[in-house]
Every structure is written in C-alpha cells, then in structure tokens.
Amino acid sequence: MANVRLRLAGMRRTIEAKADPHGGTVSFGGQTHRIDELEWDAPIGGAMYGVALNDGKEWAALSKEMNAPPYEKPPEGPVLYMKPANTINAHRRPVLLPRWVKHLQAAPALGLVIGRTAARVRREQALDFVFGYTIVNDLSIPHEQRHRPAVKEQARDGFAPVGPWIVPKEEASPLSSLTARVYVNGRLVQRADPSRFRLPVEQWLAEVTEFMTLYPGDVLFFSWPADAPLVTAGDVVRIEIERIGVLENEIALEQGGDE
C-alpha cells in the first residue's frame, strides 16, 4: 500500500488515501473501494509543461533534421510545450479521436508535481521542490512539423490523461528505477525508463526554473515518444509506472463535428 493524493469526480481538492495498484483497491475515509468502480478526476490543478526532445532515441532519430535549415543545429536549451487546461483528462475517462484522424500517438510520461515555488533552483536541490510523481499519457496527433508549436496536434480536448493519483516522492522508488510499460488492449507494446533521458530531470528542473517560475501544483513531465504506440478508436491504453500506479483510458471516436 502506498500513501497517495487523489481526487474523485465532484471533489474540489485532492484527499489523502492508501492505494494498492496491484490489488486494484484504494482506501480512504475508513472504507476500501475497487479502483475500477470509482469515477476519477485528475489529481493536479496547475499548469502542465512537457520537455520536448528529452528522449534519447527521438533525439538520435531527429539528428539529421535538427541540423538542417532553417536552424542548422540542435537546440541548446530546454524546448517546452504546454498541455493547457482543456487537455487535462482523468483515469478511465475516454479520449476522443477526431473523426478526421486515423491514429493518435500515446507516449507514456513521468510527471513531476511541484510542491513549492521553484525559481532558479540548483540541480542538487531540484527534487526538494517536487512533491511527488504521477503518470501522464502524452497524446498527440502524429505530425512532422518541427518548426512551429504543434498546438493543433497536441492541445486538443482531453489529450492529457493524468493520474490516477500523485505518489509523494518519499513513497516512490528512485527516479532511475521508474520503468514505464504501455499496454494496448492488454498487449505490452512499449517499455522505457529514465536511462533514455538525455539529461536527468534534476538538470531540466534547474534549466527551466532559470527563466520560468514553477508553482505548487504545476507539472513538468518527461515522455518517451520515440517508440510510443499508435492507437485508434476502440483501443484501451494502459500505462504502468512501477511504484506510481496505472493510468488507463479508452480511445473513443468523436461524434459529429469537423476539423
């Protein structure tokens, strides 16, 4: 059992609970519940920022492109993208596939939830500003555009399931051992761990907060997109990160509407 912070549908704030992901139960208020019987809400309320080009496999695959015009060299600092409030989704809630899109890329991501205001933090102290960890499904419409923000492809409604809860960092295993596994319809399709990150998350926290303050509740997340699966309507995506939990969402076809 792990101590966690969670929020269910209808709750204004997160609550403390004990979770047993392997047993499929969560306990709070003196009662134990089946995880799949509850209606969940995202456990975070701040801004969400992803660190792009942190996956070493993706960096290697894009090396030639990054050295081509117009930039002719790789980026030297952190490249961030944002998952705005409309994208935030919750455990076991559907993700809508636009009718004009065949597939989504479902990239597992480790989310660091900020616990206290972080500005110009030092790498050695970076994790002191982190409250805990959560899972993010960094969904996007596959795209090749690298020279402008892919807002249309990454920031659609519901494209950032988060949760199901936050595990305080004291309860979690060391970051280096947090292996992510992705299952689609029960089949293991991806396995990744932080050894693939180009820089450790502590370094990114230091570099990002050098120019941008992060506040309690904000999330800085790190995905593994290089070999992330493509999913379509009817698929169930399950992301597991050891000692953090399991985040599951079904891809459902959007009804009506146009691009």
Selected residue with higher pLDDT from 35 and 176: 35
- How would you label 207-229 residue by residue, b for 16+ Cβ within 10 Å and e otherwise? bbbeebebeebbbbbbbbbbbbb
Backbone angles phi, psi at 97, to 5 degrees: -90, 120
In the DSSP assignment, the letter for residue 203 is H
What is the Cβ-side half-sphere exposure of residue 132, based on CA atoms within 13 angstroms?
21
Torsional sign, CA 247, 251, 256, 259: positive
Q: Which two tokens stand for residue 237?
A: 């995506």
Where is average pLDDT lowest: 13-17, 34-38, 52-56, 237-241? 52-56
For residue 259, pLDDT over 80 is answered with no
Helix H or strand E segment including 80? strand 79-83
The pTM of the full predicted model, rounded to 2 decimals, is 0.92
Model confidence pLDDT, tens digit, residues 130-182:
999 999 999 999 977 555 567 889 999 999 999 999 999 998 888 888 999 99
pLDDT at 257: 53
